[in-house]
Amino acid sequence: MTQELILELNLALIPEERLANRHIALSKQLAGRYPAVIRLNGVTPRLAFTPHLTLYQVPIKVQDMPALYAALAQLTANASALSLTATEFASNEHEGSFEVRYDAANELMQLQDDLLAAVNPLRGNLLLERDPAGHKLTDLITEPGTAGDNIRRTGFDAVGDPAQGGLFHPHVTINWFELGTSVELNAPDWPLISDFNGRFVALGIHLLGPYGTCAQRLAALEIAP
């Protein structure tokens, strides 16, 4: 019996290089101060933990990858690069993540909706093994509420405009720390949150790494300026 090969993917917006380098510099700075499990370290297609803003984490059969690429190429051809405003630094010591959060702009919400419409049918009934915090999706799919509903519908919880009760809170994860790490927010030597305003210029197809990272870029589809 032949088992079908399945890839777990992170479909994510790629920031312009100037902005990505600022994400990486902050990650390095914090990793020197707190016990980091993951820190950002690159922007190239090679193996690296690269800055990204996740739109959809999804399992896809290898045989369906050409259809996925074609759908996303059409999507990006009709999209425009996004200039996003960073709103705050945020830390979740119970999961160990630290992130730069971004405004839930209407154009970004629409892009996620369009991407889900294009990709979710290719997913079928496949589920990721775990979410970024390590919880099994086979457990989470039975949960009541919005997160469970989103997983049952799309296989992913972080879906939908937060202004309408959705759970897509745009962010770039800067580090994952050891559980229980308490980060002093807005320390005096940190850059300004406005330094992380910037453009996201491509849609990346990445292999999904540990903690929801983008471990290797398979393709980058440029979005028109």
Q: Is 47 in contact with 209 (CB distance < 8 Å)?
A: no
Is 1 within a domain? no
pLDDT value at position 45?
Answer: 66
CATH of the domain at 218: 3.90.1140.10
- Looking at the structure of the chain, the number of domains it has is 1
pLDDT value at position 3?
Answer: 64
Residues 183 and 30: their CA atoms lie apart, in Å, by: 9
The string of pLDDT tens digits covering residues 22-81 is 999 999 999 999 999 999 998 876 678 999 999 999 999 999 999 999 999 999 999 998
Tell me how far the alpha carbon of residue 55 is from its chain's centroid.
6
Is 75 within a domain? yes
Q: Supply the range of the domain harboring residue 125.
A: 7-222
Q: What is the token pair recorded at 180?
A: 């229980």
Q: Is 7 in contact with 145 (CB distance < 8 Å)?
A: no
Q: Among candidates 182, 170, 181, 192, which has minimal Cα distance to 26?
A: 192
Is 162 within a domain? yes
Is 199 within a domain? yes
pLDDT value at position 1?
Answer: 39
pLDDT tens over the chain, length 225 residues: 356 899 999 999 999 999 999 999 999 999 999 999 999 998 876 678 999 999 999 999 999 999 999 999 999 999 998 999 999 999 998 889 999 999 999 999 999 999 999 999 999 999 999 998 888 999 999 999 999 999 999 999 999 999 999 999 999 999 999 999 999 999 999 999 999 999 999 999 999 999 899 989 999 999 987
pLDDT value at position 145?
Answer: 94
Residues 31 and 27: their CA atoms lie apart, in Å, by: 6
Count CB-CB contacts under 10 A for residue 45. Answer: 14
Q: What is the token pair recorded at 29?
A: 């700075």
Residues 63 and 5: their CA atoms lie apart, in Å, by: 8
Is 49 within a domain? yes
pLDDT value at position 133?
Answer: 85
Is 2 within a domain? no
